[in-house]
Amino acid sequence: MSTFSEYAALARHLADQRRAGERGAAAEAERRRDRHAAADSLQHRLTAQGRRLDQLGRAIGLPPSALPDGAAPPPPPGPPSAPVSGPPAWPPAAPVSGASGGFSPPGPPGVTYQPGMVGTSTGPGTGEGTTGGAAAAPGRPGVGAYSPGVGSGLALPTAAGVPGQRPAEPDVDTALELARRYADEADRHGQHADLLAQRPALLPAWSAMARAVAVYLGCALVGIALMLVLVVASGVGAVDQFTLYAWMCAGLPAVSLIAAWLILGRWGRPAVVAGTPPRFVHLGILICFAMVPLAYCGYVLVFRSLR
C-alpha cells in the first residue's frame, strides 16, 4: 500500500519535471529570439551591401539592380520535367458480366470463368469442362480450390506512387553561421572595392597634390615645346616678334593651364567621390605662367652663350 512519503516523492518528481520543461521552453524561446535577431541583422547587412553594390555599379556605368530590397532573384529556367507516372496495374481488371456474375479476363477464346469454378477449362472440340480448382494445377498438390463470392469482381488494386524520402531538416544555427561568414567575406571585398573606387584612373598611387603637380608640369612642357616651334618660326620670318611674345607670355601658358585643368577633372577624379576633386588651380597658374617664359629666357641665354 502506498504511503504518504511515496506520494510526496512522486509530487516532487512531477514538480521537477515541470520545472525542467519550463526551463527547456524558456531556453528554446531564447534560442528562437537569438535566431530571429541574427536573421534580422544579416538582412540589414545584406540590404546595405546591395545598395553599396548598386552605387558602385552606377559609378562604373552599370544599370542599377532591378530587384527590390530584400527580394530574391528568380530561379534560372530549367528543362521541363517529364510527368511521373506509377507502374501499370497488373493484372488488368476484367469486366464483370451482369447476366451470369462471371468475368472474362483476356485469354484464349472459348474459355469462360464462373464463380466457384476457378480453373474451369474447355478442351478444344470436346465441349466438356473439367473442374479442378487450384488443386488441379500441376506441381501444386494439396492446395484447396478457391471460390470467390457470387457477384464479386476479381481485380487487384492499381499500384500507387510511393512517396519519396522526406528531405532532412536544415540546421538553422549552421545556416546562420554560414550566412554570417559569407556576409563578413562580402564586407571585406566591399571595403577593397571602396579603396579601389577611391583611386583615380590617372596615377592612382600618387597623392592629389603630386598628381596635380605632375599634370601641370607635363602640360607646361608641351607648351614649352610649342614655344620652341614658334621661336624657330620667328627665326625664319614666318612669325613676327609680337605674335611670339604674345603666345609665349599669355597664349601658351593659358592653353597649358586649361588642358591640365580638364585632364585633372576627367581622369584625376575618383569614381565614388561626390563633387569636384581639388585641382590646385593657383599652383597650376604659377607653374604654367612661370615655366614658359623662364624656358624662353633660358633658351635665349643658351643661344647667346653658344654664339
pLDDT in tens, 30-49: 989 998 998 999 999 989 98
pLDDT exceeds 50 at position 136: no
Residue 280 CB neighbours (<10 A): 20
Task: Specify which of 61-70, 130-139, 183-192, 272-281 reaches the highest per-range mean pLDDT.
Answer: 183-192
CB proximity list for 183: less than 8 A, separation 6 or greater = 42, 45, 46, 49
The pLDDT assigned to 274 comes to: 64
Distances (CA, A) of 41 to 31, 49, 53, 222, 268: 15, 12, 18, 57, 38
Q: How many CA atoms are closer than 13 Å to the CA of 148, on its beta-carbon side? A: 14
Buried b (16+ CB within 10 A) or exposed e, 10-40: eeeeeeeeeeeeeeeeeeeeeeeeeeeebee
The pLDDT assigned to 64 comes to: 61
CA distance 157 to 257: 95
Arithmetic mean of pLDDT, 60-65: 67
pLDDT exceeds 90 at position 285: yes
C-alpha cell at 278: 581639388
pLDDT exceeds 60 at position 202: yes
CA distance 292 to 251: 10
On average, the pLDDT of the chain sits at: 74
Q: Helix, strand, coil proportions of the chain in percent (round to 5)?
A: 55, 0, 45
pLDDT, tens digit (0-9, with 9 covering 90-100), for 252-278: 999 999 999 999 988 888 877 766 778
The pLDDT assigned to 200 comes to: 87
What is the pLDDT confidence band of residue 52, given thresholds at 50, 70 and 90?
confident
CA distance 15 to 66: 58
**Window from 48-57, 110-119, 191-200, 285-294 with minimum mean pLDDT:** 110-119
CA distance 29 to 132: 72
Arithmetic mean of pLDDT, 210-216: 94
The pLDDT assigned to 169 comes to: 57
CA distance 35 to 193: 30
pLDDT exceeds 50 at position 300: yes
The pLDDT assigned to 275 comes to: 67
The pLDDT assigned to 161 comes to: 52
CA distance 224 to 299: 10
What is the pLDDT confidence band of residue 129, given thresholds at 50, 70 and 90?
very low
Distances (CA, A) of 9 to 2, 5, 22, 233: 11, 6, 20, 119
pLDDT, tens digit (0-9, with 9 covering 90-100), for 80-117: 444 444 444 444 444 444 444 444 445 555 544 444 44
Residue 220 CB neighbours (<10 A): 25
The pTM is what? 0.51
